[in-house]
Structure 1
Amino acid sequence: MSSTPDHATEAELQRASTFGSLPLLKHERVWGAADFTWVNVALAIATWAFLVGGATALLVGFQQGVAAMVIGNAIGLSFMLLASVVASQRHGVEQYTILRPVFGLVGVGVLVFTVILVTEMGWSSLLGIMVGRATTQVANTAFGTEFGPYSPMVTVGALVAILVAWYVLSRGPVTIGRLNGVIGPGLIVVTALMLVFLIVNTSWQQLLAAPPLSPFDDPRLNFMIAVEFNVGVGVSWYPVMGSLARMTHSPRAALWPAYGGLLIGTLLAQIVGMAAALTLGDSDPTVWMIPFGGAWLGALMLLFIAFANITSMSSIVFSTVLAIRQASGNTLAGVPWKWLCAGFFVLPAVLSFFPQFMYERFMAFVALSGAFLAAMCGAILVDYFLLRRQRVELVHLYRPGRESVYHYHGGINWAGLAAVAAGAGFYLWLYNPITLDTHPVFSVITASLPTALVSGLVYAVLAVLLYRRRGTGGFEHVRSPSEGVGR
Structure 2
Amino acid sequence: MSARTETETETETRALRVEAAVAEEATYGSLPLTKNERTWRAGDFGWVTLSLAIATWAFLTGGSTVLLVGFSDGIAAMLLGNTIGLAIMVLGSVLLSQRLGVEQYRALKSVFGAVGIAIIVFTVVLVTEMGWTSLLGVMFGRAFTEISNQAFGTGFNVEGPIVTVFALAALLGGWSLLSRGPVAISKLNRFVAPGLLIIVALMMVLLMSQHSWADLFAAKPLAPFEDETLNFSMAVEFNLGAGLSWWPVMGTLARLTRGPKAALWPAYGGIFIGTVVAQIVGMAAALMLGAADPTAWMVPLGGPVLGILTLLFVGFANVTSMGSIAYSTVLAIKQSSGQLLAKLRWPALCAVFLFFPAVLTLFPSFMYGQFMTFVVISGAFIAAICGVIIADYLIVRRQNVPLRALYASGTNDPLRFTGGVNIAALAAVVIASVFYLWVYNPITLETQPIFRYATATLPTVVIAIVVYLILNWLLYVRRGLGAYGQADPFAAAGKK
TM-score (norm 2): 0.95
Q: Which residue of the other structure, out of 477, 488, 495, is the alignment partner of 1:468? A: 477
What SS is found at the alignment partner of 2:104?
Answer: coil
Question: Aligned pair 1:264/2:253, yes or no?
Answer: no
Question: Aligned pair 1:179/2:167, yes or no?
Answer: no
Q: What do residues 376-399 of structure 1 show as CA deviations (whole Å, max 9, x unaligned)?
A: 000000100100010111111001
What SS is found at the alignment partner of 1:432?
Answer: coil
**Residues 105 and 332 of structure 2 are in contact (CA less than 8 Å); yes or no, is this contact kept in structure 1?**
yes
* Aligned residue number for residue 444 of structure 1: 453
**Residues 388 and 478 of structure 1 are in contact (CA less than 8 Å); yes or no, is this contact kept in structure 2?**
no
Task: Map residues 134-173 of structure 1 onto 2, 5 A cutoff.
Answer: 134-173=143-182
Task: Map residues 141-290 of structure 1 onto 2, 5 A cutoff.
Answer: 141-290=150-299
Question: Aligned pair 1:291/2:308, yes or no?
Answer: no
**Residues 237 and 456 of structure 2 are in contact (CA less than 8 Å); yes or no, is this contact kept in structure 1?**
yes
Q: Which residue of the other structure, out of 315, 322, 327, is the alignment partner of 2:331? A: 322
* Aligned residue number for residue 3 of structure 2: none
Distance (whole Å) between structure 2 residues aligned to residue 240 and residue 415 of structure 1 = 24
Q: Which residue of the other structure, out of 78, 91, 100, is the alignment partner of 1:82? A: 91
Amino acid at match of 2:38: R
Task: Show structure 1 runs of 5+ residues with no match.
Answer: none
Q: Which residue of the other structure, out of 374, 382, 394, is the alignment partner of 2:391? A: 382
**Residues 241 and 380 of structure 2 are in contact (CA less than 8 Å); yes or no, is this contact kept in structure 1?**
yes
Post-superposition offset of 1:11: 1.1
Distance (whole Å) between structure 2 residues aligned to residue 244 and residue 444 of structure 1 = 34
Distance (whole Å) between structure 1 residues aligned to residue 243 and residue 451 of structure 2 = 19
**Residues 402 and 487 of structure 2 are in contact (CA less than 8 Å); yes or no, is this contact kept in structure 1?**
no
Distance (whole Å) between structure 1 residues aligned to residue 214 and residue 148 of structure 2 = 34
* Aligned residue number for residue 454 of structure 1: 463
Distance (whole Å) between structure 2 residues aligned to residue 418 and residue 375 of structure 1 = 10
What SS is found at the alignment partner of 1:469?
Answer: helix
Question: Aligned pair 1:399/2:399, yes or no?
Answer: no
Post-superposition offset of 1:202: 2.3
Amino acid at match of 2:142: R
Amino acid at match of 1:275: A
* Aligned residue number for residue 100 of structure 2: 91
Distance (whole Å) between structure 1 residues aligned to residue 140 and residue 96 of structure 2 = 34
What SS is found at the alignment partner of 2:479?
Answer: coil
**Residues 60 and 294 of structure 2 are in contact (CA less than 8 Å); yes or no, is this contact kept in structure 1?**
no
Task: Map residues 293-442 of structure 1 onto 2, 5 A cutoff.
Answer: 293-442=302-451
Post-superposition offset of 1:285: 2.2
Distance (whole Å) between structure 2 residues aligned to residue 63 and residue 486 of structure 1 = 50
**Residues 393 and 486 of structure 1 are in contact (CA less than 8 Å); yes or no, is this contact kept in structure 2?**
no
**Residues 129 and 248 of structure 2 are in contact (CA less than 8 Å); yes or no, is this contact kept in structure 1?**
yes
Post-superposition offset of 1:155: 0.7
- In structure 2, the CA distance between the partners of 1:50 and 1:301, relative to structure 1 (3 Å rule), is same
Q: What do residues 177-213 of structure 1 show as CA deviations (whole Å, max 9, x unaligned)?
A: 0011110111111111111121112222111100111
Of 293-302 and 132-141, the range deviating more from structure 2: 293-302
Distance (whole Å) between structure 1 residues aligned to residue 302 and residue 441 of structure 2 = 39
Q: What do residues 404-431 of structure 1 show as CA deviations (whole Å, max 9, x unaligned)?
A: 2111222110001001001101101110
Q: Which residue of the other structure, out of 33, 45, 51, is the alignment partner of 1:36? A: 45
Amino acid at match of 1:331: L
Q: Which residue of the other structure, out of 43, 48, 56, is the alignment partner of 1:47? A: 56
* Aligned residue number for residue 129 of structure 1: 138
What SS is found at the alignment partner of 1:438?
Answer: coil
Task: Show structure 2 runs of 5+ residues with no match.
Answer: 1-6
Amino acid at match of 2:409: P
TM-score (norm 1): 0.97
Post-superposition offset of 1:278: 1.1
Post-superposition offset of 1:6: 2.2
Distance (whole Å) between structure 2 residues aligned to residue 21 and residue 215 of structure 1 = 47
Distance (whole Å) between structure 2 residues aligned to residue 288 and residue 273 of structure 1 = 9
Distance (whole Å) between structure 2 residues aligned to residue 339 and residue 451 of structure 1 = 38
Post-superposition offset of 1:476: 4.5
What SS is found at the alignment partner of 1:465?
Answer: helix
Post-superposition offset of 1:484: 8.1
Amino acid at match of 1:164: G
Distance (whole Å) between structure 2 residues aligned to residue 474 and residue 99 of structure 1 = 14
**Residues 69 and 230 of structure 1 are in contact (CA less than 8 Å); yes or no, is this contact kept in structure 2?**
yes
Question: Aligned pair 1:13/2:36, yes or no?
Answer: no
Distance (whole Å) between structure 2 residues aligned to residue 49 and residue 270 of structure 1 = 5
**Residues 419 and 455 of structure 1 are in contact (CA less than 8 Å); yes or no, is this contact kept in structure 2?**
yes
What SS is found at the alignment partner of 2:106?
Answer: coil
* Aligned-pair Cα RMSD in Å: 1.8
Distance (whole Å) between structure 1 residues aligned to residue 493 and residue 261 of structure 2 = 19
Post-superposition offset of 1:221: 1.1
Q: What do residues 69-95 of structure 1 show as CA deviations (whole Å, max 9, x unaligned)?
A: 001001000011111001111110000
Post-superposition offset of 1:483: 6.7
Q: Which residue of the other structure, out of 63, 71, 82, is the alignment partner of 2:80? A: 71
Q: What do residues 220-271 of structure 1 show as CA deviations (whole Å, max 9, x unaligned)?
A: 1111111111000000000000000000011010000111100010111111
Amino acid at match of 2:166: G
